Amino acid sequence: MKSLHDVVKSADWKSEKHVPVIDAPESAKAGDWVEVSATVGKEIAHPNTTEHHICWIALHFVPDGASISYELGRFEFSAHGQSAKGANEGPAFTDSRVSIRARLLVPGTLFATTYCNIHGLWESSRRITLA
């Protein structure tokens, strides 16, 4: 039997449109609020159409030495151009991009996971140190 981690995909976001890109400082002062964003399709646009779209992005933080993650946020994208008129005829589309502020007290690693309705689950990570 496979485990979930066996089907999570990762790649270089500069050449693969499904990989979430985490933008956050490499270092911050402990206890200060930091801006963290995650984007799918930063270099290569993701279609985000009725037929092919990013369903959600989740951001997690794993403190150094910890064996669990802390979910910072989960963001669902619900408008993909669907309509009674037909696919991609709707009045609204969402882009797979989110921003949050987080207050971190210890160094660790930020993780972003995303789910594409056709290509499955993707992940990336970014280390953040604290002064």
pLDDT value at position 39? 96
pLDDT value at position 4? 83
Q: Does residue 12 register a pLDDT over 80?
A: no
pLDDT tens digits along 59-105: 999 999 999 999 999 999 999 999 999 999 999 999 999 999 999 99
| Full set of structural domains in the chain with CATH | 4-130 (2.60.40.730)
Active-site choice (18, 53, 60, 80): 18
Active site residue 46: yes
Active site residue 55: no
Q: What is the pTM of this model?
A: 0.90
Active site residue 76: no
Q: Does residue 10 register a pLDDT over 90?
A: no
Q: Does residue 20 register a pLDDT over 90?
A: yes
Average pLDDT over the chain reads: 94
Active-site choice (42, 46, 60, 80): 46
Question: Which residues, at least 6 apart from 12, have a Cβ–Cβ distance to it below 8 Å?
Answer: 19
Q: Does residue 29 register a pLDDT over 80?
A: yes
Buried b (16+ CB within 10 A) or exposed e, 5-30: eeeeeeeebeeebbbbbbebeeebee
